[in-house]
Amino acid sequence: MDRSVSARRTGLTGAAGAIALAVGIMAADAALAQQAQAAPAGNAATTEAATAANPFFETWNTPFGVPPFDRLQPEHFRPAFDRAWAEHKAEIDAIVNNPAPPTFENTLLAMERAGQALRRVSGAFFVLTSTATNDKLQAVQREIAPLNAKHNSDIALNEGLFKRVAALHGQRDALNLDPERKRLLERSYIGFTRQGAKLEGPARERFAAIQQQAATLHTRYAQNLLADEKAFELVLEEADLVGLPASARAAAAQAAKERGHEGKYVITLSGSSVLPFMRFSERRDLREKLLKAFEARGNNGNANDNDPVIAEITKLRTERAQLLGFPSFAHFRLDDMMAKTPEQVADLYDKLVPPAHVRFKEEEAAVRAMMAKAGVTHGLERWDWAFWSEKVRTAQYDVNDAIVRPYLQLDKVIEAQFWVANQLFGLTFEEKTDVPVWHPDVRVWEVKDKDGRHVGLFYGDYFARTGKRSGAWMSSIRGQQKVNGDIRPVIYNACNFAKPPEGQPALLSFQEAETAFHEFGHALHGLLSNVTYPSLAGANTAWDFVEFPAQIYEHWLSEPEVLSKFAVHHETGQPMPAELIERIRKSVNFNMGHFVLRQVALGKLDMTYHLATKAEPADSRVVEAMTREQMKLPNLISLPSTAFGHIFSSEGYAAGYYSYMWSEILDEDGFDAFKEAEDIFHPELAKRLYEHVYSAGNTKDAMEAYKAFRGRAPTVDALLRNSGLKLNKTN
């Protein structure tokens, strides 16, 4: 499943945020280096005209103070960033030049309060560049990204600022700080050191240059990917749709209408378009064409080729890690995560790969038997797997998308995720129609607690469209904090479900419904944040902990209490039959061997790139071949580096893709606590989950936070057991 969290892509510019987060994560939306580095400070006439009616230079009288998305234009952003950078720089300079000895208040607290204007403009900008971009916005990205990276790097490498933080850190035990302040001081100091603050001379200058180059390359990769996705369309006639269910036909007709092919059908490279076609289309030739196009994104030998971008990104990452004294980028990243070392990740994979291989062989045998039964004489290829696996699943469980999808209306799935949040945390959701949005399809809800107090605002952007990056993610438009008043969060979820024809409900596969729950789990992590300092708020946790709140939330979807209440047939209004619910629950682990092998393969691919100890350009084909050989990976599972946006369109999951499987351990073990209590809404467990996970941000060490919720450290047993994988004696 293509899921990602982008919670740290907004303008987090506090003490730890400006250093450990903003430099590395805001670079995710960076752009082409050579163009941006040459960008002038801005044409004076253009800047003056844009400033005259620029919403960023006004007080926003919008509901809840959200960005006036209906008024924002690409030309507003460069002047807004220019002013925001200048204001933030002045605020930092004031801290550095303060003649008084450093204190928590005049240094760390002042840093947390700084950068409000930058948070404001960043929060709006990164929503638009990921969900509603166009040529003009992408051009603005190419100007802004390296300048933004330089701004943040200048803060991270500000010698005077670091001296003040280091002085406080040196006397931390004598400052009598409360736990949250002490945590902020610790994270800020670590953030500075990881962003090169201790480097001197040429090493310091090179580190800053690498940051700016990396910022541009990340967006170049992402824009290349988006360009290839945008360029492809499989235009079909009615006769080409054999095998497709009504929902997939309707979505293809809608896509054709939106792309100017009235009366025809279009399959795009959006996952919500590709997956149903691969599962149900009887046209093997078209399945092959579509899958090869999907795998070839960023690898078509055209102007969007990502191979040279990958080579340069990996080279720069290795060089940067070694400037900081680490043998590889993987060692650098994991040093500040729960896993701590690549060896710990390897140990996790050693436990998962053998049973996954055993399970996959059983799955492959079942597929081949089904093909033989149908009289198929051709071999089994990647473009056959989803199609024939679906037939096996139907035969084994009498469950497939065509049976389940009519019961999973998007509106009811949204109701379900809200209801679960109410049962666990007492939240209520009221839809708002007067709040500005960036696209007519976007919906907005005000979130309140059990006492009716305002918690935050939640945007849902659910449908695929041109100009929106693929996948599904959560991000914050405004983060929660208390240093500049009681600032309530504004959070959004983005998905890429197929938009139905006018007047018809959007129907989801079970996998898509899980994705909606997953991303809403991330959203709750942002909405329920209840900390003081913006750098510690919401999803600003250890990267291999950030998936836990999302993945544990998925579990509630498949529980009978939820499905029986919200899985309602869109035509008859009848609830999903109990026996169908049971069949779905039994089928949850179908093809688990394939799933685990694919996730581990992607994680190992990520690690192979980032365990390099020489700062040399990586050859994607060599790295992919090495990973395949190490895992004995079947050819039925692809490893598309040029479309691996998780690790190359930003630094978020670089040397961190393993966190999905790491969090699988946490979420399976964590949800087992509710099952053991025989109450999926157990009040005491829900309270601990809220206090130590969803509301705590990064105020606690991730492992300690998990232990405080669960009562002990996690084990891999629940993952293996609940996934139906057989434990080896060594596990």
Give tens-digit pLDDT for 402-423.
899 999 999 999 999 999 999 9
Q: In terms of domains, do 177 and 256 share one?
A: no
Choosing from 233, 312, 363, 519, which is the catalytic residue? 519
Residue 328 lies in a domain: no
Residue 485 lies in a domain: no
Q: How many CB atoms lie within 10 A of CB 260?
A: 8
Q: In terms of domains, do 214 and 240 share one?
A: no
Domain enclosing residue 70, as ranges: 10-225
Task: Name the DSSP letter for residue 240.
Answer: G
Which among 508, 495, 492 has a CA at the least distance from the CA of 445?
Answer: 492
Residue 148 lies in a domain: yes
**Among 240, 268, 295, residue at a domain's last position:** 295
Phi/psi of residue 325, nearest 5 degrees: 95, 15
User: What's the structural domain count of the chain?
Assistant: 2
Res. 336: pLDDT tops 90: yes
**pLDDT averaged over the chain?**
90
The DSSP string of 623-689 is HHHHHHHHHT--TTS---GGG-HHHHSSSTTTTTTTHHHHHHHHHHHHHHHHHHTT-TT-HHHHHHH
With 0-12 CB in 10 A as exposed, 13-18 as middle and 19+ as buried, what is 98?
middle
Among all chains, which residue has been given the structure tokens 């990164």?
126
Residue 545 lies in a domain: no
Res. 32: pLDDT tops 70: no
For residue 590, give the 3-state DSSP assignment: coil
pLDDT for the residue 400: 86
pLDDT for the residue 9: 27
Q: Are 659 and 546 in contact (CB under 8 A)?
A: yes
Q: Which of 17-26, 387-396, 556-565 shows the lowest per-residue confidence on average (mean pLDDT)?
A: 17-26
**Among 295, 319, 335, residue at a domain's last position:** 295
Res. 65: pLDDT tops 80: yes
**Among 270, 295, 320, residue at a domain's last position:** 295
pLDDT confidence tier of residue 8, bands split at 50, 70 and 90: very low
Q: In terms of domains, do 112 and 205 share one?
A: yes
At 511, list the tokens.
């996998």
At 575, list the tokens.
């609830």
With 0-12 CB in 10 A as exposed, 13-18 as middle and 19+ as buried, what is 202?
exposed
Q: What share of the chain is helix, strand, coil (3-state, %, to 5)?
A: 60, 5, 35
Q: In terms of domains, do 236 and 200 share one?
A: no
At 166, list the tokens.
């280091």
Helices 592-610 and 659-676: crossing angle in degrees, nearest 10, is: 140
What is the reported pTM?
A: 0.88
For residue 456, give the 3-state DSSP assignment: strand
Q: 519 an active-site residue?
A: yes
Q: In terms of domains, do 214 and 237 share one?
A: no
Residue 186 lies in a domain: yes
Q: What percent of the chain has pLDDT over 70?
A: 92
Q: In terms of domains, do 47 and 196 share one?
A: yes
Q: In terms of domains, do 169 and 79 share one?
A: yes
pLDDT confidence tier of residue 16, bands split at 50, 70 and 90: very low
What distance in Å separates the CA atoms of residue 667 and residue 27, rounded to the nearest whole number?
30
What distance in Å separates the CA atoms of residue 89 and residue 18, rounded to the nearest whole number?
12
Q: In terms of domains, do 20 and 134 share one?
A: yes
Q: In terms of domains, do 70 and 212 share one?
A: yes
Q: In terms of domains, do 57 and 180 share one?
A: yes
Among all chains, which residue has been given the structure tokens 């544990």?
552
Residue 183 lies in a domain: yes
The CATH number given to whatever domain includes residue 204 is 1.10.1370.40
Q: In terms of domains, do 37 and 127 share one?
A: yes
Q: In terms of domains, do 178 and 267 share one?
A: no
What distance in Å separates the CA atoms of residue 29 and residue 250, rounded to the nearest whole number?
34
Residue 258 lies in a domain: yes
Residue 142 lies in a domain: yes
